[in-house]
Amino acid sequence: MHPIVRKLAAYGPLAPEEQAVLAGLGAGAQLVEGRLDLLSEGCVPDSAVLVLEGVACRYRHRRTGTRQITAYLLPGDLCDLDFVHLGRLNHSVATLGSCRVARVPREVLAGLTTQYPAVARALRLAKLAEEETTREWVMNVGCRSAIERVSHLLCELHERLRAVGWATKAGYDLPLTQQDLADTTGLSNVHVNRVLRQLRLMRVVEVGGKRVDILNLAALQEIAEFQADYLRPAVA
């Protein structure tokens, strides 16, 4: 099943027609190799980006050269519904590993939401989840230790990838370098490496070679104080 259908269906039932239309968004998808910008800071996007496979991210650079990743875009994620209101973008969007992505023109997106209220609602809820996730990241870098931050990130990716069928209980593929993890968690690549070694020695999780093998999920979540509910806003 197409990842965006799978993702949005979690927020409420979608009619077959709605599912078909959503799946159709991925029609013109293209393969993009890793480490390429999909949208660059300062540009004025005229279409959203839909990720079908792979991992992409939002990021910004400081003048000092350091990079901060502020969000991950996983299969089924649409970046970004509301840029149609924006002028210049003040951050960039780039692939991390190689991705399959489709561009969704703003008119298509607008037509979709006016024609299918259930889709519009699901997209709003997905956006809410994204906001909660960003707030969770503020928590993460603001008041957790290195091992907690890394563990939390691994938990979040596990949960989100599972929701779209790209992870099992045993683990998932993750085409990131340790430097990418460092730029996400606000740590140095060296320290990320040490944290991953510690987690490996603790027999909690093994991260290496673009693969995350989870040995003890409960322990990992315990370390991270991971509460998955922020990823799934309960529906009133």
Partner DNA sequence: CGTGCTATTGAGGCGCATCAATCATAGTGG
Partner DNA sequence: CCACTATGATTGATGCGCCTCAATAGCACG
Per CB under 7 A, the list member of 68, 133, 188, 216 interacting with DNA is 188
Which is nearer to a copy of itself, 25 or 69 (by Cβ)?
69
Q: Alpha carbon 78 to chain centroid distance?
A: 10
Instruction: Please give the span between the terminal C-alpha atoms of the chain, in angstroms, as a whole number.
Output: 27
Whole-angstrom distance, CA of residue 235 vs CA of residue 78: 20
85 binds, options a copy of itself, DNA, none, Cβ within 5 to 8 A by partner type: a copy of itself
**175 contacts 36 by C-beta, under 8 angstroms:** no
98 binds, options DNA, a copy of itself, none, Cβ within 5 to 8 A by partner type: none
How is residue 203 written in tokens? 């027999």
229 binds, options a copy of itself, DNA, none, Cβ within 5 to 8 A by partner type: a copy of itself
196 is a contact residue toward DNA (CB under 7 A): yes
Q: Alpha carbon of 81 to those of 2, 88, 198, 221: distances in Å?
A: 18, 15, 39, 31
49 is a contact residue toward DNA (CB under 7 A): no
13 is a contact residue toward a copy of itself (CB under 8 A): no
Which is nearer to DNA, 186 or 233 (by Cβ)?
186
Looking at residues 106 to 145 of the shown chain, list those that interact with DNA (rule: CB under 7 A).
Answer: 145
**217 contacts 229 by C-beta, under 8 angstroms:** no
Is 63 buried (19+), middle (13-18) or exposed (0-12) by CB count in 10 A?
Answer: exposed
Is 228 buried (19+), middle (13-18) or exposed (0-12) by CB count in 10 A?
Answer: middle
CB atoms under 10 Å from CB of 216, counted, come to 14
1 is a contact residue toward a copy of itself (CB under 8 A): no
Q: Which residues bind DNA (CB under 7 A)?
A: 145-147, 177-179, 182, 186-191, 193-194, 196-197, 208
Q: Which residues bind a copy of itself (CB under 8 A)?
A: 44, 58, 60, 62-63, 66-68, 70-71, 82, 84-88, 90-91, 121, 124-125, 127-128, 131-132, 134-135, 137-139, 141-144, 185-186, 225, 227, 229-230, 233-236
